[in-house]
Amino acid sequence: MTIARFEVFSHVVEQGSFTKAAEKLNMTQSAVSHAIASLESEWGVALLIRDRRRGLLLTEVGQKMLIPMREILNQMEIIKQEAALASNLEAGTIRIGSFPSASANILPSIISKFNQKHPNIAFRFYEGTYEEILEWFETGVIDIGFVIQQNKELNLHIVPLVKDKMVVAFPADHRFQHEAVIDVHDLHEEDFIMPKGLYRANVEEIFEQAQVTPHIRFEVQDCNTISSMVQEGLGVTIGPELSFKNQPNIGIGNLKQSSWRKVALASPPLQCTSPAVQAFFAVAKTMFVRTGEHAQVSGSADDECAYTEMSSL
């Protein structure tokens, strides 16, 4: 069946390996190779290239075909879930993209509550950077993703979750350890670890508004690496509270110049998603989205009242 071969092809691309894809699919490696070869033979095109140095690569036509294949697989998943609902059964898989701090601090509680109502739904997790999550939406890898809401519009259905406070993170024995509130000006002469990626803009804005130029010692992409460098006394940094709270040998202090990042749950337009995805959003809303006279659930990123502050969780 061609759709089954689409699934094999998608897994091979995700895993970057025939062997790993075979393990995920509970197939033999030869069966996976045969499925790809039969697609290439049927269409008369090469989908993948084996490169000794760079591994398994998509050809140009393979890149073009991958996205519509994933769209077909997603539609098949929706059909399967709708059929299960009609039979008073639940089945299916939700593919979730998340960044490390959301994986550790937000996602487990949502899944725990979701499983109480929908125990037969399976999950597949993808952890990466903010930028990778947006790319996974574009290429159809994930159904749901945690995103950081910026001023620019995202062509996604958005449910606000939390306002994550930006804090100063420093080694546990640092001079800041007794300071409840830290002024950005006090960071001027500190060795500073500047984050790369999406929330760098938040950090730069904090310094610009205070008219302070940080002494940047390191520029680092990975949040775990930043935490390790702070723990080793290599510098201080500014980052989201979610990333640093409960980390050993790291102290955190509130900034005098308050700043927040907005963490939201996103998906393609909700009417295009599966019943399981819609149920997941419904659970998340009951847990995080404030309702009442001055707040409402909406897809607008500008609805400040809809975000729950981390300190209130």
Q: What is the pLDDT of residues 109-153, one digit of tens each?
A: 999 999 998 998 999 999 988 889 999 998 889 999 999 887 566
Contact 236, 169 (CB under 8 A): yes
Q: How confident is the prediction for the chain on average, in pLDDT? A: 86
* Distance (Å, whole) CA 9 – CA 40: 11
SS (H, E, C) 246-310: CCCCEEEEEECCCCEEEEEEEECCHHHCCHHHHHHHHHHHHHHCCCECCECCCCCCCCHHHCEEH
Q: Where are the domains of the chain?
A: 2-68, 90-313
Identify the band that residue 302 occupies on the pLDDT scale cut at 50, 70 and 90.
Answer: very low
Q: Which CATH number fits domain 90-313: 3.20.20.100, 3.40.190.290, 3.40.50.10800, 3.40.50.2300?
A: 3.40.190.290
Angle between helices 2-15 and 18-25 (to 10 degrees): 120
Examine the pLDDT at 43 and tell me if it is beyond 60.
yes
Identify the band that residue 233 occupies on the pLDDT scale cut at 50, 70 and 90.
Answer: very high
Q: Which CATH number fits domain 2-68: 2.40.170.20, 3.40.50.1370, 1.10.10.10, 2.60.40.1260?
A: 1.10.10.10
* Distance (Å, whole) CA 71 – CA 272: 10
Go through the chain and tell me how many residues it has.
313
Check if 2-68 and 90-313 are the same fold: no
Closest to 140 in 3D by CA, of 69, 207, 47: 69
